[in-house]
Structure 1
Amino acid sequence: MIKQAQKNNISNISFLIFNAIHNIANTLTGENEEKEILKTLDFYITMEINRLSYKNIYTYEIENQIVGLILAYNSNDVKKLDTPILEHLKTKNIFLDSFEKECFEDEFYIDTVSVSPNFQGKGIAKELFIYIEKKAKELGFDKVSLLVDFENPKALALYEKLGFKKNTILKVSNHNYHHMIKMV
């Protein structure tokens, strides 16, 4: 069952995000230790406004356990969504004006897709994509976009199978990513 994340039930969400974004989590949290990264991700997830807010997360549950998620938002809101995170980083003496560009205007940007290792290969990611594409249409978007790490050919193959096309290359946290688009 896919539904919007709830502020009072975020168990496993930070783990799923961290498992998908790896070193980008260090950049977003200003932390290097996994325990502190997960703690800061939990903090962000429970906030009302930021890119990692529960309001942008749709979870896949099996027997009341969150086993997958897709996190997506309006690309035109990136500045507003990143401000709370940038403000939090200042409390750790990390002063950034912005994060590296991950998307372009007028896209429903899929920031993160993650499925627990024990549940991979069961079509959960595909269902999450179908759900978010419908959500994007409902919100009036013509396209969805995402990034895929050059070093993740398995994900690239999945996204191409789902109809995403390479658009350009972006560098985020010192890694190259394919920016991919799908018209919906």
Structure 2
Amino acid sequence: MIRPAKPTDATAVVPLIIQAMGKLASKLTHVEEGHVLKEIFTHFFQLEGNQYSYENTLVFEEEGKVLGSLNAYDGGKLLELRKPFLNYVVEHYHANNANQDAETEGGEFYLDSISVNPSAQGKGIGKQLIKAGIDWAKKLGHHTVGLLVEKNNPNALRLYEKMNFVIQNEKQFMGGLYHHMIFKIK
């Protein structure tokens, strides 16, 4: 079942967010230690008003266990949602976040991170989360859903294309090259 996340889901969801972000989690925070990354993302997952908040997250739960998550929000609010996060890592970890790229923009509901527990991959959970993200966007009145996929991730690219996402353009983001893909809600 897919449901809105709760602050108490942090233990299960934070590793999924970090898994989805990969190296970007360290680039964004300027922190390499896994336990510290977990602390930072847990802190923000449990708070409201930021891009990694539980309020911007859906979870896939089966038999009481969270097996997947989707983090998404209005792309036009990215800078506002990211600000508390960046201020925190600057203050507590002396990070220099002056030149952060924006991965989304106004006019799209942005699917930030989609992740499935490795033990549950290949069961269609990711597809269900993406469909739930599209439904969420539609409910909020959005007409476009966007996401980024690394150019060197052909499996993810195929999945999104099968779900009728199309490449709109290429985007440089935090040192990597990505396909910016969109889905038009009819």
TM-score clears 0.5: yes
Secondary structure of the equivalent of 2:111? Answer: strand
CA displacement at 1:6 relative to structure 2: 0.3
Q: Give aligned pairs, total.
A: 184
Residue 138 (structure 1) aligns with: 139
Partner of 1:34: 34
SS in 1 for 2:11: coil
Deviation per residue, 1:50-87 (Å, 9 max, x gap) = 11011101000011111001110001111110110111
The answer for unaligned runs of 5 or more in structure 1 is none
The 1-side partners of 2:167 and 2:81 are apart by: 25
Q: Answer yes or no: is the 8 Å Cα contact 1:113–1:125 preserved in 2.
A: yes
| Shift of residue 28, structure 1, vs aligned partner | 2.7
Does structure 2 conserve the Cα–Cα contact (< 8 Å) formed by 1:166 and 1:180?
yes
Corresponding position of 2:59: 59
Q: In the alignment, is residue 153 of structure 1 matched against residue 144 of structure 2?
A: no
Match of 2:97, SS state, is coil
Deviation at 1:35, TM superposition (A): 1.4
Q: Percent identity?
A: 33
Report whether the alignment pairs 1:72 with 2:103: no
**Residue 98 (structure 1) shift:** 5.5
Q: Give the TM-score normalised by the residue count of structure 2.
A: 0.95
Q: Which amino acid in 2 is paired with 1:18?
A: I
Which residue pairs with 2:16 in the alignment?
Answer: 16
Amino acid in structure 2 at the alignment position of 1:176 = L
Structure 2 regions of 5+ residues with no counterpart? none
Q: What is the DSSP-based 3-state SS (H/G/I as helix, E as strand, rest coil) of the residue aligned with 2:115?
A: strand
Amino acid at match of 2:66: I
* Structure with more of its chain in helix, by fraction: 2
Aligned partners of 1:17, 1:96: CA distance in 2, in Å? 20
Could you say which residue in structure 1 is the equivalent of 2:2? 2
Whichever residue aligns with residue 47 of structure 2, its letter is M
Q: Residue type of the partner of 1:24?
A: L
Cα contact 1:101–1:170 (8 A) shared by 2: no
Q: TM-score, normalised by structure 1?
A: 0.96
Whether the 8 Å CA contact 1:170–1:179 is kept in 2: the answer is yes
- Kept in 2, the 8 Å contact 1:70–1:113? The answer is yes
